[in-house]
Structure 1
Amino acid sequence: MNVWKAAFFSLAGLVAAALVVLIILIGGTTASSPLPEDTAKQDEGYTLALNTTKKNFEGIANTYIRKAVKGSLPVELEMRDDVLLTSELTVFSYTLPLAMHFDPIVREDGNLILKQSSMELGDLNIPPSTVLKLLKNSVELPSWMIVRPKEEEIFIDLEDLPISGDVQVKAKEVNLAQDEIILEVLIPKN
C-alpha cells in the first residue's frame, strides 16, 4: 500500500473519530441546575406595584443582560407575542444567528420561567435542548439566569437581580397579548 494512502486513511479516521466524540459531547444530556428554593420571606416593608409595557420591560431586561454578559456575546431580548432571545453561536469558525422563542410563565414565588416554544439556528435542524446546552456552555450568563437544557427552559431569578439595597422584585403577571406586565417591588423598612 502506498504511504500516501495510509496517511490519508489515518487522517480520515482521526477526523471521523473527532466528529463522533463532538456529537457525543454535544448531544449528551446533562442534569440541569436545580432551581432555587422559594426563600422569599415577606419582610416588613413597602410594596409598590409597577405596571409596564413590553417595550419598557424589554429595555430594562436588555440593560441587565448587557451588564451581565459584558459584551462577550451579543444577547438581545425582544418582547412580542412571545419572548424572543437572539444571539449568535460560533460553530467550526462559522457564526450562526440564533433565535429562541419562549413563553413566559410566572411562578408563585414571583420568578419567571421562559419555556422554549421554538428555535432557529441558521438553517440547521438541531433539537432545542442541544441549542440551550450550547448556549449554557458557550456564554457566561449572569447568576440570575439559569439555563436548563433538559427542561428546555430558562429560569429568571428576579430575587437575585443586582438591585441596590435590599429591594426585591417579583413578577405578578405577564400578559404579552394585552401588553401588560405587572411587577411588585418590595422596599424593606429600616
Structure 2
Amino acid sequence: MDRQTRTNQNSTEKKSPKGERSFFPKKVNGWMVAFLVLLGIVLGSGTVIIQRIFEPREVLTTNSAKLVERDGNPVVNITSTKKQVNELMAFYLQEYKEKSGLDYTFTLENQALLNGEFKILGMPVNFYLYFDPYVMENGNVQLKAKSLSIGTLGVPIKEVMKVVKRSYKLPSWVEVKPSEGTVLIRLDQFRMQNGLFIKAEKIDLVDDEIKASLYLPASKEK
C-alpha cells in the first residue's frame, strides 16, 4: 500500500460522513450508563427525603395567651447577669423538656444559643442555632436567628426552626416564626405565680448586663 492510499484511509477513519470529527465512541459502555442513571436516582431521592423530613405534616396553629395589662410604674427593677439568667431558664424549661421527651438547652453567651437535636433517618443530628436578642418597645424580647451550625448538612435556618416549632414543647408565650427567622418571647403574656408581670428593659450580652422591671397586676383577683 503506497503512502497516498494510507493517507486517504486514515483521513476516512478520523472523519464522520459529513467531514466532521466525531467525539463519541463507537461503543457505549452499558455498565457506565447504568451507574450514572443509578447515581442520579440516589441523589434525587436524597433531596426528596430531606425535603419531606423538614416538611410540616399539618398546619400549625398558635393559641395565644391572654394579654397582660401592667399597671403604672414598675415596683421592682432587676439587674442580672447571663449566668443568673441561664440558671433561671434551665430551671424553668426543665418541665417542658420532660413533657416533650427532647433534650435541648437555651443559654445566653455573646449571642443567645439554642442547642438541641433531631433525627434524620433514625440518626440523631445535633444543631446550634444562634440568635441576636432585641428588646422591643412593649417590653417583649425578639430573638433574630443569625447563624446555624449543623455539621456538614446544608439545611436552611427556617427549616430547623420548623422542626423546633413542630417538635419542641415550649411555653405558650414563646412564639417561633420560621418564615421570619425569629422567636418572640411574649412577656406581655407571661404571668408569675405571685401575680407580678415582667417587662424587659435592656439586654447587653457583651457587657453582661440584663435589666427588667416587675409590675403589679392591673387589679387584684378576689
Contact 1:61 1:77 in 2 (8 A): yes
State TM-score, norm by structure 1: 0.78
Whether 1:69 aligns to 2:97 is: yes
Gaps of 5+ in 2: 1-40
Which one has the bigger strand percentage? 1
Contact 1:38 1:109 in 2 (8 A): no
> Match for 1:59 among 61, 65, 87?
87
Change (3 A) 1:33 1:177: farther
Q: Structure 2: how far apart are the matches of 1:25 and 1:88?
A: 14
How many angstroms does 1:121 deviate by?
Answer: 1.8
**What secondary structure does 1:70 align onto?**
helix
Change (3 A) 1:18 1:80: closer
Q: Structure 2: how far apart are the matches of 1:173 and 1:38?
A: 24
Contact 2:68 2:189 in 1 (8 A): no
> Match for 2:111 among 60, 82, 88?
82
Contact 2:148 2:157 in 1 (8 A): yes
Change (3 A) 1:40 1:161: closer
Higher mean alpha-carbon deviation, 65-74 vs 166-175, is at 65-74
How many angstroms does 1:61 deviate by?
Answer: 1.5
Letter in 1 for 2:209: E
How many angstroms does 1:31 deviate by?
Answer: 8.8
**What secondary structure does 1:56 align onto?**
helix
Contact 2:191 2:198 in 1 (8 A): no
Larger Rg belongs to: 2
Using CA pairs under 8 Å that are at least 6 residues apart, name the structure with larger relative contact order, 1 or 2. Answer: 1
Whether 1:172 aligns to 2:172 is: no
Whether 1:153 aligns to 2:182 is: yes
Gaps of 5+ in 1: 1-12
Tell me what 2:121 maps to. 92
Contact 2:74 2:213 in 1 (8 A): no
Higher mean alpha-carbon deviation, 149-158 vs 40-49, is at 40-49
Tell me what 2:30 maps to. none
Change (3 A) 1:141 1:40: closer
CA RMSD of aligned residues (A): 3.4
Equivalent residues in 2 for 1:42-57 (5 A)? Answer: 42-44=70-72, 47-57=75-85
